[in-house]
Amino acid sequence: MLARARAVTLTNFLGLARCLGVDPHAMLARSGLSAGALGDPENWLPSRQVLDLLEETAATTGRDDFGVLLGEFRSFASLGPVSLLLRHEVTLRSIIGAMIEYRRLLSELLHLRLEVHGDDSILFWNLVPGLRSSQGINLLATIGYRVLIDGTAVHWHPECVHFRHGRPHDVAAFQRVFSCPIEFNSEFDGLTLKTRSLDLLNDFADAEMAAHARRLLNLLPGQRGEESAVERTRGTIALLIQSGQTDVTDVARCMGLTKRSLQRRLKAEGHSCSGLLNDVRRELAVRYLGNSSNSSSAVAGLVGYSSLSAFTRWFVSEFGKPPGEWRQQLQRQRRFERAKIRETPTFMLRPSSEPSEHQASQDALHLT
């Protein structure tokens, strides 16, 4: 089942791209999308094309904060029907619980998990297994943070917001949006908070309205079923891989299953834990080598190898060349593609009409 993104995910994309000096229609066409598809915010778009669009636009404009800029102007109401429930839940804990329960109505790109460890807790936000995009994470983190801080009346702030990717060149937007400490090159994407904060009350709380909103949400067709065993296993492996705890026993334990039970479920879906581990490792290696300045040695550790030589042997067997050579080839290809986009006459890609952009001028004011 392929993940989808609502067209509202790209609210203000056209205006923001223009303010940054690129033709948004050229960028959309390059990613296999069209401006017409953005006309209805409830349209569902293929996730990979949306994430490719974010990454390519960030690279072409030279703005590694593009996802944050795009998310900064999303309104709370743009979350759709879920916003009614989140607004009226009683505590921060129940608000986060509702976000997790109805995350597929927010975005099928989003995977949320709350872990409580004594006095401290972690809210992890990730793209669903199989998807990788630093700009996608930036966008989801911005939206999620604004929901919890601006969209409700719980008076709190996280201890820290965490990003796996490195410190961006353009950090001002991050500091403007996230009014708390920020850690880049972190071990996870998400935020940390004091466990006692989870019981703080929401001034907008209305149990009757929350119950009414929940009844309405349960009538919507947007919930496409729970994650499969394969999806859950991939997500768990991605979280464990840096620690090297990728044995099927470790994965099963983190999923609350026995080893045999997990193996049986994966076999029923035509997969194995070792096969999924290799798939996740491939995706992470491509992500870290392609979208960061990490050295090959650092990437080796991030994908679960204790030595660069072992990582290089595996990488050559999978991709046919050493990681350094692979990265150089990717960078040359990206430079070539960006040059082509800049040289493409805009009239060749521009449709006759486009959606309204009533906030484009607002975008221009915040690009410092």
Q: Which fold has domain 229-320?
A: Arc Repressor Mutant, subunit A (1.10.10)
- Predicted local confidence at residue 346, as pLDDT: 47
Name the one residue in this structure whose structure tokens are 């915040």: 366
User: Do the strands 190-194 and 120-127 form a parallel or antiparallel pair, or are they unpaired?
Assistant: antiparallel
**CATH 1.10.10.60 domain extents, the chain:** 229-320
Going from the C-alpha of 301 to that of each of 8, 142, 215, 218, 312, the distances in angstroms are 37, 28, 46, 43, 12
Would you list the DSSP string of 4-72?
Answer: EEEGGGGTTHHHHHHHTTS-HHHHHHHTT--GGGGSSTT-EEEHHHHHHHHHHHHHHHT-TTHHHHHHH
CA distance 135 to 70: 10
Model confidence pLDDT, tens digit, residues 117-149:
889 999 999 887 667 899 999 999 998 888 888
- Predicted local confidence at residue 365, as pLDDT: 37
User: Which residues of the chain, if any, have pLDDT below 50?
Assistant: 1, 222-225, 346-368
For residues 2 and 44, the answer to whether their CB atoms sit within 8 Å is: no
- Predicted local confidence at residue 35, as pLDDT: 82
Residue 262: other Cβ atoms inside 10 A: 22
Residue 184: other Cβ atoms inside 10 A: 14
Helix (H) or strand (E) holding 319: helix 308-319
